Copies of this chain bind each other. A is one copy, B any other.
Amino acid sequence: MSTLTIDRTDVAADAALRPRVRDFYDAYYDALDDVRLEEWPDFFTAECLYRVIPRENHERGYMLCTMQAESRGMLQDRVTGLLKTQMYAPRYYRRFPGPLRVTVAADGIRTRHNLLMVQTLIDQQPTVVLCGVCHDRLIEEDGRLRLAERVVVFDSEMIANSLIYPA
């Protein structure tokens, strides 16, 4: 994996690619913030890896994670489950991604960015429910970008139950 900014050629690629990657994440997070969950699986390739994992496990190489899906179909099942059962106390989530780091690797576009996820129970002050970093891999498919891999590493040991919602 080499960063896009190493030589002149890479800088050019970067200048063309970055706005597309940025637009991809804008659309991804807008869909989740607006609770259009049914759109979520389509941001992934048919075969994919979606993983939400505590930092300690990730850094030690343990695979024990909070959530894992290995195909778009599994993500769709997840959404179906969520849409049927979301009868909790009314609450909203809003995602604040940090600066986006984009590198090009042999197997696709690698991105890294921090993620802050804020929960608002509507009669309370907002609180931070997730603070972590996303290690993603995107590939181009039929002229659009899709996530082949998304690994969300969060800094807590345990995850708030609120994280039944996608990050």
Interface: A106 (CB within 8 A): no
Minimum C-beta distance from A42 to chain B (A) = 17
The main secondary structure of chain A at its interface with chain B is mixed
Q: How far is the CB of A30 from chain B (nearest CB, A)?
A: 7
Find A131's partner among B120, B130, B156 (CB 8 Å cutoff): B120
| Chain A interface, number of residues (Cβ within 8 angstroms) | 47
Contact B129 A127 (CB under 8 A): no
Which residues, 92 to 119 on A, are CB-close (under 8 Å) to B?
Answer: 92, 94-99, 101, 112, 114, 116, 118
- Asked if A33 lies at the interface with its beta carbon under 8 angstroms from chain B, I say yes
**Residue contact B94 to A155, C-beta cutoff 8 Å:** yes
Query: A residues near B, CB below 8 A?
Result: 3, 5, 11, 14-15, 19-20, 22-23, 25-26, 29-30, 33, 54-56, 92, 94-99, 101, 112, 114, 116, 118, 120, 122-133, 155-158, 160
